[in-house]
């Protein structure tokens, strides 16, 4: 029987996955799953000794969302698929464990008021009072960077990972477009509005000494933004603005729904969002259609004139 341990198998799989140029985001998620599973196993047994019961118990004992459980299942299945090809195990035991169905969360785009509230809080902190002093506020750092992030997310529907990976040379302000490397290393060119171009220009004008190969968006320490840093800064902006549930994906939803509301077609939206199928776009279509029906009831001359 093969005595390659679980941790050794993980090391081998990650080498193979890197050679296949699997996305860093996917590898990061998989590695997180493998670490959690290794802690669950306590010891580091041969991968051939692990059975579907171990997988089932591991997934059952996780206090996370169903979507995250599904991600764990996917990551473990990828490892065992590779292990079968390498003849480290006889079969993919993860296939014997039922996949959970994640909760379908309602899509809640930002309203125009939400976006204006977020933008209004970028320059100054909330007013506060110090002991013995008058009420005051202070200027906030990175205001132009944060404004550029909000405009670009809202105007293109970029994913968080795509935004964080952008380099300065991939933004063509003159021609109003940005080159994006999406999932599966698929490249796409996305247009943006003249107003977004102005905001990006103002932000980049402050980046003294920046070169074309530098990250477009950087932290206060000068390092490229990570998805977690991006999420935290947006949550902070949301708290100051009084807008609940601020996250990157809501900008993507907001872009998609308004693209359809304002006359964009679903096929070009699919290309812009970088989806391999129309399934997600159909959800946005249904929401946009519901908006049209609601608006029609308000605006219909037959109803309004009571004919």
Catalytic residue among 95, 99, 177, 183: 183
Verify whether residue 223 is a known catalytic residue.
no
Residue 109: HSE in the Cβ half-sphere, 13 Å Cα cutoff: 20
Q: Alpha-carbon distance 179 to 167, whole Å?
A: 9
Catalytic residue among 13, 30, 110, 284: 284
Instruction: Give the residue ranges of DSSP H helices in the chain.
Output: 6-19, 24-41, 52-60, 66-85, 112-120, 143-156, 160-165, 194-205, 227-241, 248-261, 266-273, 279-299, 301-304
> Which are the contacts of 56, defined by CB distance < 8 A and separation ≥ 6?
97
Pairing of strands 177-181, 171-172: antiparallel
Instruction: Supply the angle between the helices 66-85 and 24-41 in degrees, to the nearest 10.
Output: 90
Catalytic residue among 34, 252, 253, 259: 252
Verify whether residue 249 is a known catalytic residue.
yes
As a residue count, the chain comes to 307
Catalytic residue among 159, 165, 250, 253: 159
Q: Alpha-carbon distance 212 to 47, whole Å?
A: 46
DSSP 14-82: HHHHHHTT--HHHHHHHHHHHHHHHHHHSS--BGGG--HHHHHHHHHT--S-HHHHHHHHHHHHHHHHH
Verify whether residue 284 is a known catalytic residue.
yes
15: alpha, beta or left? (left if phi > 0; alpha if psi -120 to 50)? alpha
Euclidean distance between the first and the last CA atom of the chain, given in angstroms as a whole number: 83
Verify whether residue 203 is a known catalytic residue.
no
User: What angle (nearest 5°) sits at the alpha carbon of residue 210, between those of residues 206 and 211?
Assistant: 145
For 92, phi then psi, to 5°, come to: -85, 95
> Which positions are catalytic?
159, 183, 249, 252, 275, 284
């Amino acid at each position: 029987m093969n005595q390659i341990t679980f941790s050794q198998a993980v090391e081998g799989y990650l080498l193979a996955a890197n050679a296949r140029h699997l996305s860093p985001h996917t590898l990061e998620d998989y590695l997180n799953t493998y670490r959690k599973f290794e802690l669950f196993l306590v010891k580091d047994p041969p991968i051939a000794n692990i059975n579907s019961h171990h997988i089932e118990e591991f997934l059952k004992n996780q206090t996370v969302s169903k979507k995250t459980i599904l991600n764990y299942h996917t990551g473990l299945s990828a490892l065992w698929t590779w292990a079968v090809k390498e003849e480290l195990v006889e079969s993919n035991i993860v296939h014997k464990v039922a996949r959970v169905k994640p909760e379908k969360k309602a899509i809640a785009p930002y309203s125009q008021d939400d976006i204006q509230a977020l933008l209004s809080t970028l320059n100054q902190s909330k007013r506060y009072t110090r002991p013995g002093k008058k009420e005051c506020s202070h200027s906030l750092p990175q205001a132009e960077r944060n404004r550029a992030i909000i405009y670009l997310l809202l105007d293109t529907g970029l994913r968080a990972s795509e935004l964080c990976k952008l380099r300065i040379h991939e933004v063509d302000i003159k021609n109003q477009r940005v080159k994006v490397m999406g999932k599966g290393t698929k490249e796409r060119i996305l247009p943006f509005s003249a107003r977004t171009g102005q905001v990006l220009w103002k932000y980049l004008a402050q980046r003294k000494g920046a070169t074309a190969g530098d990250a477009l968006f950087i932290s206060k320490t000068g390092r490229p933004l990570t998805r977690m840093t991006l999420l935290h800064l947006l949550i902070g902006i949301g708290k100051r603005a009084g807008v609940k549930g601020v996250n990157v994906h809501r900008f993507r939803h907001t872009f998609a729904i308004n693209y359809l509301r304002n006359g964009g077609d679903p096929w070009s939206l699919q290309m812009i969002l970088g989806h391999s199928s129309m399934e997600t776009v159909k959800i946005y279509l249904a929401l946009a259609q519901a908006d049209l029906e609601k608006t029609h009831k308000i605006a219909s001359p037959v109803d309004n004139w009571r004919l």
